[in-house]
Structure 1
């Protein structure tokens, strides 16, 4: 047995131990003539947090095993299906319960009390896990930008660790199946340990199983242990925009001009746009490593210009706070000069409380679909941007 298989078996054995006490609790609640289906279904009902985690673990290892088999290698990760996993873990417990000659069941009142206690703890754990994932995904756009494939291809062809880190950081701002698979592949194929840890942070943040791959065998290169760090500031980002081919590939569906005081409202707004299939540009989200508020300078303005050029549509998020912004009117004027399609989204205000010139722009309306209103006529956003 190889080292990787031994590592998996150790993990699998340790993971099964987590189910020992829950299974003992399930046994207390069942009649002696219980069926396997009843045992597993009771577990699912009372331990939804463990069941969800088990399904994720199974999918993770099942996919890895299928990958090996499809590439002509032997099966290495025999992770049982969730239903069979519970039966395996409870094998001794179920046999003992069925063969017991002195079986004594809890009273109905005691069973009901134990059920409520277990269910309450499990639901609380599940809510805590979900709240943590939601917090981690708060700024992440759950959509795949058009340049994803080019970035992924470049990662596996370049030998520049700093360029690889930039690619990892760019794709970590989004979530999609291909991006998640990319981070798993980084862990599997990358020799540099600090880049593996970057992939680990992303995968764990989105609530998926992850096992940090051991350092690869063979001759060690000094770059394997190099801690990769990239300097960040507006000037460095501007240099990359001018000379980096990947930066030139970036394209956004819309540039959202706003006041940063409306942060919570902006997050909710671009999440709705993501759900409709649009990639938005927001400076403190898409360029969060380089455009920090304390670094704001003349170069920041140049970067904003480039990002407006890279966006198909300019949206002004118009609120009371927007009227106090020095940046929004300037950004609007620049987008107008470029001939960009421009629309406004009214939040917490109406046309009667804003400067009159804003009313000359089409208005964006959010329903189940996104519409643009021009002169009282509504058309679909997709048709308007064509």
Structure 2
């Protein structure tokens, strides 16, 4: 490993090990007498799951780097130990697993005191773990947990010669709407190698907010060129998107499995439906999830209609959510839903329906069986 790279890698290893010192000694207090290494690791995973996940992701990150180096004909550079080996090689772990430490711990072991510390630790750590989970869940609330059909198109477009800072930020914005292996890998690569400061920081913040292992890349040394400090405020309108959809742009190359036609009042239902369909490998279109950076409700215009029609053309099917909010006097109570249904019929695409009213009304849709509480939508029809 080259000198500079080795120093950076070793320095990061030291910082992580130092950060683990306090958690490890806390866990050591609740270990049973005559414990072994596996018991120590299992307890650490239970009470510090995010710290463990960081170790795992870091290992995978450097394995991917070595894999890439081999693919381009270079030697492996990092050869990271497995997460378990990294853990067991930690100096504090070695101390806790030493014969003297175990013997002293066993000799001084008090079951009542141990249970008192254990209960206190469970209460404290459960609050912190839940808080962290909620933070990540809030960030991911509007993201789809599926690989979009056009992910490779986005990645390829990012690396095209002559792409502008605006173009790159647009692609990062699109990639940030999905949770999948390719998007995570993409953001890691941008954080590692992108020379534009704004774009690199966007990638770093995305990974950090989503709870992934990431380290902030220092600014590149030497004279900064214009493209390195170039910035762009991605403040778009429906008109901007409509124009992009008429051009040979990434927006024009998108494809969706399901266009979800709904009332915004049913946002909670929409999120559940999208989540279930994602689990079936279906990428969904929902205006305030998929085009929130363009379709602002304060800027509704004829361009909004153009965009929705184009997105319908890019979708395989339409799924109408028939709810009390979308219906009134047994008629559709939304001009936007009506527009979507009418245009879908013109396109000759199949219209599916989730009927939350279930009043026996006969409609020209294919009704699907579903149970959102059980995470089920029968998409086989």
TM-score range, shorter chain: 0.7 to 0.9
Paired position in structure 2 for 1:230: 234
**Distance of 2:177 and 2:7 partners within structure 1:** 35
Cα RMSD for the two superposed structures: 2.7
Question: 1:25-64 CA distances to partner (integer Å, 9 max, x unpaired)?
Answer: 3444457755434443443454444333332333233433
**Distance of 1:277 and 1:42 partners within structure 2:** 35
Which runs of 5 or more residues in structure 1 are unaligned? 373-379, 382-386
- SS of the residue corresponding to residue 274 of structure 1 reads helix
**Distance of 2:126 and 2:54 partners within structure 1:** 13
After TM superposition, the structure 1 stretch with the greater mean CA deviation from structure 2, 54-63 or 160-169, is 54-63
The one of 142, 145, 152 aligned to 2:145? 142
Task: Please tell me whether the aligned partners of residues 195 and 228 of structure 2 are also in contact (alpha carbons under 8 angstroms).
Answer: yes
Q: If the length of structure 1 is used for normalisation, what is the TM-score? A: 0.86
- SS of the residue corresponding to residue 43 of structure 1 reads helix
**Distance of 2:316 and 2:255 partners within structure 1:** 8
Shift of 1:371: 4.0
**Distance of 2:326 and 2:87 partners within structure 1:** 56
**Distance of 1:62 and 1:119 partners within structure 2:** 34
Task: Please tell me whether the aligned partners of residues 32 and 97 of structure 1 are also in contact (alpha carbons under 8 angstroms).
Answer: no
Paired position in structure 2 for 1:192: 196
Which runs of 5 or more residues in structure 2 are unaligned? 328-332
The one of 102, 107, 110 aligned to 1:107? 110
- SS of the residue corresponding to residue 170 of structure 1 reads helix
The one of 157, 160, 165 aligned to 1:157? 160
Q: If the length of structure 2 is used for normalisation, what is the TM-score? A: 0.87
1:10 aligns with 2:11: yes
Shift of 1:69: 5.1
**Distance of 2:48 and 2:171 partners within structure 1:** 39
Distance 1:103 1:282, change over 3 A: closer
Shift of 1:268: 0.6
After TM superposition, the structure 1 stretch with the greater mean CA deviation from structure 2, 212-221 or 113-122, is 212-221
**Distance of 2:105 and 2:253 partners within structure 1:** 73
Question: 1:284-304 CA distances to partner (integer Å, 9 max, x unpaired)?
Answer: 111100101111111111111
Question: 1:225-244 CA distances to partner (integer Å, 9 max, x unpaired)?
Answer: 11222340011111111113
**Distance of 1:94 and 1:24 partners within structure 2:** 11
1:201 aligns with 2:205: yes
Corresponding residue pairs, total: 369
Task: Please tell me whether the aligned partners of residues 342 and 361 of structure 1 are also in contact (alpha carbons under 8 angstroms).
Answer: yes
- SS of the residue corresponding to residue 246 of structure 2 reads helix
**Distance of 2:105 and 2:186 partners within structure 1:** 55
